[in-house]
Chains A and B, each alone.
Chain A
């Protein structure tokens, strides 16, 4: 296209040089308009910064060549004048230059992203395999009632690394999708452009990458070694992924209108994400419940914010109302385990922020739980005070008895 335009431009130049006869004003106007039109097409066809640079030089040359006819062209060109015509043309060049620069930068970035994604995917594969192997080892050690601390720490480290890499990889996939959409973001898309866009998405395996990312995340969620922090992060990751997919998915659905097979992939991914969301939700509540059960606190299992509040308050109320029926040495231990070890050290700083952020639990309900805990604490301490008073009383009596005996023994010596 570029060469054709150059040949046409050169042809006009030759005709002008060869013409020995006087040129009429209408010919000057027509000549100008034709060459202007060729340059305008060249601007639109330019796809590299070098091509744009060449067009800019051609525009300068055209302006210089027709400057002698400026007074005439100011009147003859309609509705623009000579200066306005070049202003318009250069405006297009600037737009095209910015667009081309953006596309070139984006293409470079996409290339970098592809490499990064490839590298990350390899890392994730490696980590996933390592993780699977260590999980098998841990299960074996647990079944043998042996706790290999070093191995567990190693696994935890790998899980954290894998989690970070999966999150990075997820972001990368959507970055690539966004970049590709940006790359093919044109005011008017021809069928050829649409086809090229689809090919680019196919080449970058966007749909399969998204599906794999979902699979990886779900597999990760099903891991038995996830901590509360891990589950919270994964739930957050699921929400971010869902948000990204809503943006990209609708564009992909529009893009694949002509491809029935590909179009079916979009609702399939929607359902995979919904499934992932269910898994994330289930893992979230299960892990939160385990915070209590791992400390032998018999809070009934819960599956949502409502049952969480109901079961936790029921547990506190039961403990408060049955303080007298619990062994003396256990009363305070149970309270301390709940209030300090679980609620104070785990639930309040780690879980509650997310529960509040998601609107799962209100500030009023949290205050209500704290108030009930205070009542429980009061009862536990009251019973402790009686024990302390009794103990002090016993110690005083024993001391008095001892002193009395000692005095009794000393009298005969005197």
Chain B
């Protein structure tokens, strides 16, 4: 009887395990520079993605910020995490896909002063952030140790 119960439990666990398609590569070769429309929506035609940046602008610059016309820079890493930043931001935001939206995974502080002209590059194992002559390597967890210059 005991053996039967163990076998049934094992079968049950096997049936419930979700299917994984691996390896996968979600990386975008180049960042997209997106300008928000009057409703605060940005969209990328090549990668067929669109979302509202209103909550992001509020989080970074405060509730009075009107997102219309604002420009953000967006790139996706190999694992599928989205990295978003914009001029005058002090952070790079890392998002993951959730039901019907993007959910913040990490908020990486780059410095105390706002970035003048941040840009994102795709690299083999990280996302490179350029800001003027400064650059640093980012992962979804934050700035890679010893990479900030």
| Cβ–Cβ < 8 Å partners of A29 in chain B | 30
> How far is B31's CA from A229's CA once the two chains are assembled, in angstroms?
81
Stretch at the interface among A20-28, A320-328, A336-344: A20-28
| Cβ–Cβ < 8 Å partners of B33 in chain A | 26
Count, chain B residues at interface, CB 8 A: 15
> Do residues B132 and A21 form an inter-chain contact, with CB atoms below 8 A?
yes
| Cβ–Cβ < 8 Å partners of B133 in chain A | 20-22
Please judge, given known A-B contacts A72-B29, A75-B29, A76-B29, whether A24 and B46 are in contact too, CB under 8 Å. no
| Cβ–Cβ < 8 Å partners of A27 in chain B | 119
> Do residues A26 and B119 form an inter-chain contact, with CB atoms below 8 A?
yes
The chain A residue sitting closest to B45, CB to CB, is: A78
> Do residues A26 and B132 form an inter-chain contact, with CB atoms below 8 A?
no
Q: How far is the CB of B48 from chain A (nearest CB, A)?
A: 12
Q: How far is the CB of A282 from chain B (nearest CB, A)?
A: 72
Which of B29, B46, B132, B135 interacts with A25 by CB under 8 Å?
Answer: B29
Residue-wise, chain B 112-147 has the 8 Å CB interface mask toward A (1 for contact) of: 000000011110000000101101000000000000
> How far is B32's CA from A20's CA once the two chains are assembled, in angstroms?
23
The chain A residue sitting closest to B119, CB to CB, is: A24
Number of residue pairs A-B, CB distance < 8 angstroms: 35
| Cβ–Cβ < 8 Å partners of B119 in chain A | 24-27
Please judge, given known A-B contacts A27-B119, A78-B46, whether A22 and B135 are in contact too, CB under 8 Å. yes
| Cβ–Cβ < 8 Å partners of A25 in chain B | 29-31, 119, 121-122
> How far is B133's CA from A72's CA once the two chains are assembled, in angstroms?
21
> How far is B31's CA from A366's CA once the two chains are assembled, in angstroms?
87
Instruction: List residues 8-26 of chain A with CB under 8 A from any CB of chain B.
Output: 20-22, 24-26
> How far is B131's CA from A376's CA once the two chains are assembled, in angstroms?
113
> Do residues B121 and A24 form an inter-chain contact, with CB atoms below 8 A?
yes
> How far is B119's CA from A194's CA once the two chains are assembled, in angstroms?
48
The chain A residue sitting closest to B135, CB to CB, is: A22
| Cβ–Cβ < 8 Å partners of A75 in chain B | 29-30
> How far is B80's CA from A108's CA once the two chains are assembled, in angstroms?
62
Instruction: List residues 82-127 of chain A with CB under 8 A from any CB of chain B.
Output: none
| Cβ–Cβ < 8 Å partners of B32 in chain A | 26
| Cβ–Cβ < 8 Å partners of A24 in chain B | 31, 119-121, 130
| Cβ–Cβ < 8 Å partners of B73 in chain A | 26
Q: How far is the CB of B109 from chain A (nearest CB, A)?
A: 21
> How far is B30's CA from A25's CA once the two chains are assembled, in angstroms?
6
> How far is B55's CA from A181's CA once the two chains are assembled, in angstroms?
62
| Cβ–Cβ < 8 Å partners of B121 in chain A | 24-26
Instruction: List residues 9-68 of chain B with CB under 8 A from any CB of chain A.
Output: 29-33, 46
> How far is B30's CA from A76's CA once the two chains are assembled, in angstroms?
6
> How far is B81's CA from A224's CA once the two chains are assembled, in angstroms?
97
> How far is B119's CA from A350's CA once the two chains are assembled, in angstroms?
88
The chain A residue sitting closest to B27, CB to CB, is: A75
> How far is B41's CA from A206's CA once the two chains are assembled, in angstroms?
60
> How far is B47's CA from A78's CA once the two chains are assembled, in angstroms?
11
| Cβ–Cβ < 8 Å partners of A21 in chain B | 130, 132-133
Q: How far is the CB of B47 from chain A (nearest CB, A)?
A: 10
Interface residues of A (CB under 8 A from B): 20-22, 24-27, 29, 72, 75-76, 78
List, sorted by A's number, 14 A–B pairs whose CB atoms are closer than 8 Å: A20-B133, A22-B133, A24-B31, A24-B121, A24-B130, A25-B29, A25-B30, A25-B31, A26-B30, A26-B73, A29-B30, A72-B29, A72-B30, A76-B29
Given A24-B120, A25-B122, 17 more A-B residue pairs with CB atoms under 8 Å apart are A21-B130, A21-B133, A22-B133, A22-B135, A24-B119, A24-B121, A24-B130, A25-B29, A25-B30, A25-B31, A25-B119, A26-B31, A27-B119, A29-B30, A75-B30, A76-B30, A78-B46
